[in-house]
Amino acid sequence: MANRTKGWCCAVWLAVIAGFALVHALHLRADFPNHSPWSMDWAKYTDEGWYGNAAIRAHLLGHWYLPGDFNPAVAAPVWPFLEWVLFFFTGITAEAARGLAVAGFFCTLGLSYLLLRVSGSRWMALLALTLMVTNPFVYAFSRLAILEPWLIVFTLAAMNLAVRLPRVRRPVWTACGVGVLFTVMMLTKTTAIFLLPALGWAMAAPLWNRRKLAVQCVAAAGAAFAAGYGAWMALVIHRGLLADYKYFYFINDYPRPAQLDWPLVSLWWSFHGGLWIDPILAPLAAILVVGAFVFFRAGRRLLLDPVFGSVVLAVGGYILFMTYQDHPQPRYFTVVAVFCFFVAAMGTEALLKRAGDGGAWRAAGWMALALIVAAACVNGVWTLDYATHPEYTFVNAAAQLARYIDAHPNGNRLLVSVSGDEIMLLTHLPALCDDFGTMELPDKIGKYKPGWFASWNDLDPGTLADLHTRYSLQQVAAFPAFDDKERNLLILFKLRPLPGGRVRDEGDTDMRVELPDDSFDAPIE
């Protein structure tokens, strides 16, 4: 009878997890949740288009590469390749691209369960999955067609192979598979380099008593990675795309503050950003890790566990990346969130397993479990609220913008905008990025001769000066979208070529202000 009850409880729990997981696949065309704590993240109006533009162009224009524009597929080709394949079956739609990200989330759930079951109980693994499917932060970012969802998939796949090396018949060849997966991780998102210590621990810790084999496995994985990534770099150089590859790193290298203590300030903000994930679970995970080190005798077994150690190193590696970058963004914590939930679940299980050693451990374990359950309940309600109240402000604005352009021809049907690639994904309107590209904007607009420009809320004076070299601007429409007070109005401008094809020299006049041949009331800021 007890086993039957236990079986029914497990079945109900799995059904709840499956139900919340499926909620992620609903209303995929909807906006990123408005009025959320993460609304300042610009991924919701740029990154989906940017990192998939190679796939979109390949199907829409017949070529994936646009000389002089932003071509991130040169450094991160895996995601646009997956989209390119998918679009053969679905056509170019935001729903398809986001559905691919959600499919990655489903894979993450399965791979997470397999990883946690290596050394943990079933209830602990299900607890971690419950935290993932109910969390509104994960819900919001797992539904965006960005790089993080599939980076997590490939990382978990590599970890699953690495921690099982002692159990397989050919560990060295399996280690080569880990190296191949790390290559795929690096070609999905270059920040995967900060997850390398986690993979190293996952490989070495299970083989700690078989040092020779451990060295062979690490060497095999390194050789596989060197061969794979080296082959990609050879292709990049052979195709003459090295400038685009270098540019990708250049634009992601943010200037650091001048003060000497900036690393400490940046580290604090990187840790503080964990509150975006969850104000209860992230601090709880940190407390459990610190407690395991402080009470090392009690926490030694947990810290030396290959899975737990690799999970902690994954969190630490990504925190290090954000500290070095000095530019923490909510989307970066999508990777951290998954591993934080692992830490919370595994740490709680470890405390409860030591309940027989004393009342303090028992109390700490049950207190941690109570906090986890409370957080999951609150988060579940929050996630369901987002799922049952979809909004479509941005997709409607993009559709209205495209309809206006088609109803009012103005030379080339080409849009210049920082959100241009995102609008191209939503509407198939060809676009250029005004902010990024290996070619300066005055040269880019001279080469491609766009007919339209769109900006959010105001005009950047530098961009205005670049456009003024060849065009005057006429404001023709504005479309409300999103919830960010700095980006809640998408403004469309007609680009009018200067008489006689004249090209202004940037030194002719102060072109950062409205000129007599302009017609707009958008503020210049």
Q: Is residue 229 part of a domain?
A: yes
User: Which pLDDT does position 278 carry in this prediction?
Assistant: 96
Q: Do 177 and 312 have their domain in common?
A: yes
Amino acid identity for residue 29 in this structure: R
Q: Do 473 and 374 have their domain in common?
A: no
DSSP 254-270: PPPPSSTTHHHHHHHHH
Of the candidates 342, 373, 388, which is a domain's last residue?
388
Read off the DSSP letter of residue 192.
G
Q: Do 209 and 290 have their domain in common?
A: yes
User: Which pLDDT does position 102 carry in this prediction?
Assistant: 98
Q: Is residue 50 part of a domain?
A: no
Q: Do 405 and 354 have their domain in common?
A: no
Give the residue among 183, 169, 171, 175 at the shortest CA–CA distance from 218.
175
How far apart are alpha carbons 425 and 427 in whole angstroms?
6
Q: Do 135 and 235 have their domain in common?
A: yes
Give the residue among 428, 493, 488, 438 at the shortest CA–CA distance from 464.
493
Q: Which two tokens stand for residue 414?
A: 């080409």
What total of structural domains would you count in the chain?
A: 2
Q: Is residue 87 part of a domain?
A: no
User: Which pLDDT does position 402 carry in this prediction?
Assistant: 97
Q: Do 360 and 409 have their domain in common?
A: no
505 HSE (CA, 13 A, CB side): 2
Q: Do 330 and 183 have their domain in common?
A: yes
Around Cβ 508, how many Cβ atoms within 10 Å?
10
Q: Tens place of pLDDT for every residue, the chain, 525 residues?
A: 667 778 888 899 999 999 999 999 999 999 999 999 998 898 999 999 999 999 999 999 999 999 999 999 999 999 999 999 999 999 999 999 999 999 999 999 999 999 999 999 999 999 999 999 999 999 999 999 999 999 999 999 999 999 999 999 999 999 999 999 999 999 999 999 999 999 999 999 999 888 899 999 999 999 999 999 999 999 999 999 999 999 999 988 877 777 888 888 888 988 889 999 999 999 999 999 999 888 877 778 888 999 999 999 999 999 999 998 888 889 999 999 999 999 999 999 999 987 555 578 888 889 999 999 999 999 999 999 999 999 999 999 999 999 999 999 998 999 999 999 999 999 999 999 999 999 999 999 999 999 999 999 999 999 999 999 999 999 999 999 998 888 899 999 999 999 988 888 766 678 899 999 999 999 998
Q: Is residue 98 part of a domain?
A: yes
User: Which pLDDT does position 325 carry in this prediction?
Assistant: 86
Cβ(45)–Cβ(419) below 8 Å: yes
Give the residue among 442, 462, 456 at the shortest CA–CA distance from 493.
456
Q: Do 219 and 154 have their domain in common?
A: yes
Q: Is residue 181 part of a domain?
A: yes
Q: Which two tokens stand for residue 473?
A: 């601007």
Q: Is residue 483 part of a domain?
A: yes
Q: Do 100 and 233 have their domain in common?
A: yes
Q: Do 384 and 294 have their domain in common?
A: yes
How far apart are alpha carbons 490 and 510 in whole angstroms?
26
Of the candidates 388, 414, 429, which is a domain's last residue?
388
The dihedrals phi and psi of 497, each to the nearest 5 degrees, come to -60, 145
Of the candidates 339, 371, 388, which is a domain's last residue?
388
Q: Do 299 and 346 have their domain in common?
A: yes
Q: Is residue 28 part of a domain?
A: no
Q: Is residue 413 part of a domain?
A: yes
Q: Do 253 and 105 have their domain in common?
A: yes
Q: What order do you get walking across the sheet with 452-456 strand by strand? A: 431-432, 415-416, 452-456, 487-497, 471-484
How far apart are alpha carbons 53 and 431 in whole angstroms?
10
Provide the Cα torsion 142, 145, 146, 148; round to 10°: 40
How far apart are alpha carbons 336 and 355 in whole angstroms?
29
Range of the domain at 457: 393-501
